Amino acid sequence: MSLSQILHEFKGSIAQCDSLITNAHKTDATGAPLLPTLDQQQITVAAFLNMFIAWETFLESSLMELMTGSPTVSGRTPNRYVRPPNAAASGELIAWMGKYFDYGNHQNTIKAVGMYFENGYPYEPHLSAIYSDLSDLRTMRNASAHISSSTQTALESLAVRIVGNPQPGISLYQLLTMIDPRSTARGTIFLTYRDKLAVAAELIAQG
């Protein structure tokens, strides 16, 4: 699969996430929601999780493809430090001694691309440019996977940093659907992070 196809699939996946959230919040002619609040919440959080998985899939697919010598969309071929014979061998090399590689761990991903490609190209400097955003996404991903005192505290700390004032007891759904005060377009917090990933994926794939 080419980098162009991998990027196209990623864009399709995040577009589907947008569609899920939009459809979950549709209203009838009187303005009443078509779905119960709980359904809206669960669909929105699931859509966010799907976006996070799509990002991990983009990283894995592109990394395995580039490690076997495929070019970026622009036609440039990264200078590789490894020469796996096929995509399967690339996956084994990335996982190394573990059963799998956690692409959601951006610290390790940045280390990995630096080990396999000169200067981490084409992933760097784009991953480092959104380092704090990837940390935020991991915090939200953890909150979507399980509820605990630590994940709730982390989510509340993130909300304070984004919104600027305490948000005790805030849920992931509430955070994702809140208008992002950093957004000039008055978009939601979900849209802010979606756009960050979309731009990063485009830059990486283009090379």
Q: Check residue 97 and give its pLDDT.
A: 55
Report whether 166 contacts 84 (CB < 8 A).
no
Digit-coded pLDDT (tens) for 106-153: 999 999 999 999 999 999 999 999 999 999 999 999 998 877 888 999
| C-alpha to C-alpha distance for 61 and 85, rounded to whole angstroms | 15
Which residue matches tokens 């589907």?
Answer: 16
Q: At 136, list the tokens.
A: 């935020």
- 0.85 cut: is pTM over it? yes
What is the pLDDT confidence band of residue 1, given thresholds at 50, 70 and 90?
confident
Domain boundaries, given as residue ranges, for the chain = 3-129+202-206, 131-197
Q: What angle do CA 37, 43, 46 make, to 5 degrees?
A: 140
Average pLDDT of the residues in 24-34: 94
